[in-house]
Amino acid sequence: MPAFEPNEMIARYKDRAAAVRKRPLPPVAGEERQLFIAQAETDFMDFAIIGDAEATLDDGVLTLRIDLKSPRS
């Protein structure tokens, strides 16, 4: 098994956040459309937060440091 690289994981989350932003809306309407949009917003937020993290791996313990005070662009 290859060694775990936290910064590669962070990069994958950044890619996922970008993919959610580009995700097309399926052909749904009404309440289902709103649920899809709400889920996409939640997915983006979650992926973007992890994508902005600073990761350290010490003695097998992964620590993600995330500054929630900084403004999002």
HEC readout, the chain: CCCCCHHHHHHHHHHHHHHHHHCCCCCCCHHHHHHHHHHHHHHHHHHHHHHCCEEEEECCEEEEECCCCCCCC
Mean pLDDT of 44-63: 94
pLDDT of residue 54: 95
Mean pLDDT of the chain: 90
Query: Residue 3: which pLDDT band, with cuts at 50, 70 and 90?
Result: confident
Query: What gap in Å lies between CA 46 and CA 32, rounded to an integer?
Result: 21
Task: Fill in the amino acid letter for 17.
Answer: A
For residue 55, what are the β-bridge partners? 64
